[in-house]
Amino acid sequence: MIHRLKQVIRVWKEEADFLEERHASMESVRTIRSMCTDLEAVLEELLLLELPTSQAAEMTGYSESHLRRLFRTGGVEGRREGRTILLRMATLPTKAAQEWRPRSPEDNDGWGRALCRRATS
């Protein structure tokens, strides 16, 4: 999830740069950059979250026992709360993921089509 959010931010920034180079509406460019800033703030908050091993396993695709082993060996940051291990989301391992990229602005829901119409008009 974290990796995908970073990809979305990167793609949106590239789109804003592309639109700016093409002299599209500055309002559109500012809107996309503002959305990137907001999403980066949300991402920072997510990275501070602590998850129990069960939720971390669901999110990462790794087993709970593997995540507990990583915690014991220092591969993942976290803390114990009674019998529960809470792992910091920022340090969770991720399995290789396919790079996400929208096919074109027209393929996105709502804002992509509207943005494309504004940029070309």
Specify whether 38 is located in the same domain as 60.
no
Give the model's pLDDT for residue 100.
46
Q: Is residue 3 part of a domain?
A: yes
Tokens matching residue 9: 């931010």
Distance CA(61)–CA(96), nearest Å, equals 10
Q: Is residue 18 part of a domain?
A: yes
pLDDT tens per residue, the chain (121 residues)? 677 888 999 999 999 999 999 888 899 999 999 999 999 999 998 888 999 999 999 888 899 999 999 999 999 999 999 999 999 998 988 776 544 455 555 555 555 555 555 555 5
Tokens matching residue 26: 């500055």
Is this model's pTM higher than 0.85 or not?
Answer: no
Q: Is residue 65 part of a domain?
A: yes
Q: Is residue 99 part of a domain?
A: no
Give the model's pLDDT for residue 59.
86
What one-character-per-residue DSSP string does the chain give? -HHHHHHHHHHHHHHHHHHHHTT--HHHHHHHHHHHHHHHHHHHHHHH-EEEHHHHHHHHS--HHHHHHHHHHTSS-EEEETTEEEEEGGG------PPP--S-GGGSSTHHHHHHHHHH-
Tokens matching residue 20: 């700016």
Specify whether 36 is located in the same domain as 58.
no
Give the model's pLDDT for residue 60.
87
Sole residue written with tokens 């391992």: 93
Specify whether 42 is located in the same domain as 54.
no
Q: Is residue 4 part of a domain?
A: yes
Question: Whole domain around residue 58: which residue ranges?
Answer: 50-94
Q: 79 pairs with which residues across the strands?
A: 86
Domains in the chain, number: 2
Specify whether 3 is located in the same domain as 15.
yes
Give the model's pLDDT for residue 106.
52
Q: Is residue 107 part of a domain?
A: no
Give the model's pLDDT for residue 98.
44
